[in-house]
Chain A
Amino acid sequence: MNREDTFWDRVERTLVGLLGAVAMIVGVVQVVGRYFFPAYAISWAEEVIVYLVVWGVMIISSQLVRTDGHVRPDLVLRLAGPTGQRWMESFNCVVALVFCVGMVWYGYQIAETSWLLDEHSASDFAFPMWIYYASLPTGGLLMAARYAIRLYRYLFRFDPATMTVGHTAEHDLMAPAGGDARSATTD
């Protein structure tokens, strides 16, 4: 499962990089404006940072599925052996797909209701909230696509050498070998 980045991966990563960069810049602009250019100061930076970062996280959640980067304990998986791992992973993918479908369905309802109500944030920025809420079904959809691919691989293209716990080639996080795919910068 050690694959090169596809066009889809590159688009996701670039988009998330841009969203994060803009979030960082908006935060700095607010502070600089407040103290050095009061005439141009903004007061809605933190609100915008929330929208940008949450969209970024929802988009990158797809990459987390692809690279097995979601935090999970794998002690029992390690004891299970390749066949056991294959079926446990398939079961996990099915549960994940159901969860993601729920995210898409209920997220869509929340965004649609907000759009119909013409809901805006309470700040001066008055941001249309349906755009923020739409991040939830989008994240669900992207993750569902990745989980569907993952399920297909475990069911029909299973390779014990590269798809069992202990194989780290696909991890682009600096996580312990084969251990929990936890991030090096968050714990």
Chain B
Amino acid sequence: MWATLFFVMFFGLLASGMPIFLVLGACAAVLYIFSDQPLIGAAQVVIDSLNSSTLMSLPLFVMAAAFMRQGGVAKALVDLCTAWIGGVRGSLGLVTVVSCTLFAAICGSSVATALAMGTILLPAMLEKGYPRSFALGVIGASGTIGIVVPPSLALILYGIVAEQSVPRLFLAGILPGLLQAAAFFGWVWYTARRNNFPIEPPLPMAMRWKVTWRALPALAVPAIVLFGIYGGIVTVTEAAAIAAAVSMFISLVFYRGFHWTQSLSVIADALKSAGTIMLIVATALVFGHWMTDSGVPAELVKWVVANKFTTWEFLLAINVLLLVLGCFLEVVATLLLVLPVLAPALIPLGVDPVHFSIIFTHNMEIALVHPPVGLNLYVLATISTAPIGEVIRGILPFLILLLIVLMIITYWPPLTMWLPQLIYGH
């Protein structure tokens, strides 16, 4: 009965255009009242759930991404990829895939990746005569890599809600992210040859090294984060603070994308972006707290076991559910709504929570590029002034590739689990 009340209220309020943190907060408050729990308990959960040092890595990584985006780092990465991939047919498309993967390793956000790369690479591809729908498709789809390659904001949230080690989740995302990039690379290469896309003239070797030298400070950020965390030198939160400080330093000193007097404004904008997530996290965890007490996850496990669902059937059903939810909700809302129900049920159903984190995140990647609310679609439509239908047409082949990669991630766990098990053991 409570679940029905929650879902009716949740979707009703959501339809009215109410902010998600408010919808979750209002629903949780009503559930607390109806189940005779004091509301001060809900307020205590809100403030206690924010008192998490792991959660603090999120605003600090967002700060790093904001400095990078404002600092002109994207241009340095694009120049680097163009220098080394030039001379191949369709090289600008290939540059897009590789640049997005590199930028993803810096910023942890799909939309920021698509935005940063789109503003540079879209005009360049259109100028060289690439079909607009193809250019939009490759940028939008490649941008999604940002959410799975570490540092991933979605994986930080998953780690908090499902109580998993964030460094382990980061490692799990590397190979699936690279597989996705390789699939896109292959498709772009094939399409370029079939459609006779232009070839960029290769740069002389001296020029290539010059461009590489200029991109080195930007590449230092993911290197510092990864070596810091996996070398056991810093915690995830400390790594995020260092990433933010280094990003600010290189943006000011090397790339000079903004004046130092604008630094406080960039930080305020970053905290504002992170604030949208953190308020949802706080109210969603109140709901999650109620959900755990209500015994719904235990009922779910009982139901799945009673109906003799196998693990693969369960995973297939969850994939379908997440794809459907992705049509209506955005990434953070889906994660925080669904995970409190599913997380306690994973181990009893034979699913490793680390493996599941990447299945989940990959579903969210797909949600970012499929209609009607795929955010990357709207970002690209906005920066290109193209109709949304054209963006969708361009992204369709990549959507199919994403679904194939999802199936591989779901049904071949070693792809996800090999690296974390290699570093941390079983």
A: which residues have CB within 8 A of B? 13-14, 16-21, 23-28, 30-31, 35, 45-47, 49-50, 53-54, 56-57, 60-61, 63-64, 69-77, 85, 88-89, 91-92, 95-96, 99, 102-103, 106-107, 109-110, 132-133, 135-136, 165, 172-177, 179-180, 182-187
Contacts and interface: CB of A to CB of B under 8 A. Distances in A.
Nearest to A27: B241
A185 B111 contact: yes
B136 interface: no
Given A23-B241, A99-B22, A180-B373, 15 more contacts: A13-B265, A16-B272, A28-B245, A50-B51, A57-B278, A63-B272, A71-B330, A75-B373, A92-B16, A92-B17, A172-B269, A182-B375, A183-B111, A183-B277, A186-B62
A56 B328 CA distance: 30
A176 B272 contact: no
Contacts of A64: 272, 275-276, 279
Given A21-B267, A25-B245, A176-B381, A185 B107 contact: yes
B22 to A, nearest CB: 6
Given A73-B14, A182-B276, A21 B264 contact: yes
Contact of A49 (B53, B65, B329, B332): B53
Given A25-B245, A186-B332, A180 B375 contact: yes
A41 to B, nearest CB: 12
Contacts of A50: 50-53, 55-56
A113 to B, nearest CB: 9
Nearest to A17: B264
A183 B270 CA distance: 9
B275 A88 contact: no
Contacts of B85: none
B142 to A, nearest CB: 15
Contact of A88 (B16, B25, B43, B53): B16
Nearest to B44: A110
Contact of A176 (B29, B65, B382): B382
B405 interface: no
25 contacts: A17-B267, A21-B263, A24-B245, A27-B237, A46-B53, A49-B60, A50-B51, A56-B275, A70-B20, A71-B330, A76-B15, A99-B22, A99-B26, A102-B29, A102-B39, A109-B40, A176-B382, A183-B272, A183-B276, A183-B277, A184-B112, A185-B111, A185-B270, A186-B276, A187-B332
Interface residues of B, number: 83
A152 B371 CA distance: 35
Contact of A107 (B14, B47, B240, B368): B47
A61 B279 contact: yes
Interface-central residue, B51, B265, B271, by most chain A CB under 10 Å: B271
Contact of B43 (A47, A103, A177): A103
Shortest 7 CB-CB distances between A and B: which pairs? A27-B241, A176-B378, A17-B264, A70-B19, A106-B43, A183-B273, A77-B17
Interface of B: 13-22, 25-26, 29, 39-40, 42-44, 46-47, 50-53, 55-56, 59-60, 62-63, 65-66, 69, 107, 109-112, 115, 147, 153, 233-235, 237-238, 240-242, 244-245, 248, 263-265, 267-280, 328-333, 368, 372-373, 375, 378-379, 381-382
A104 B330 CA distance: 28
Contacts of B20: 70-73
A135 B50 CA distance: 11
Contacts of B330: 71, 73, 180, 182, 187
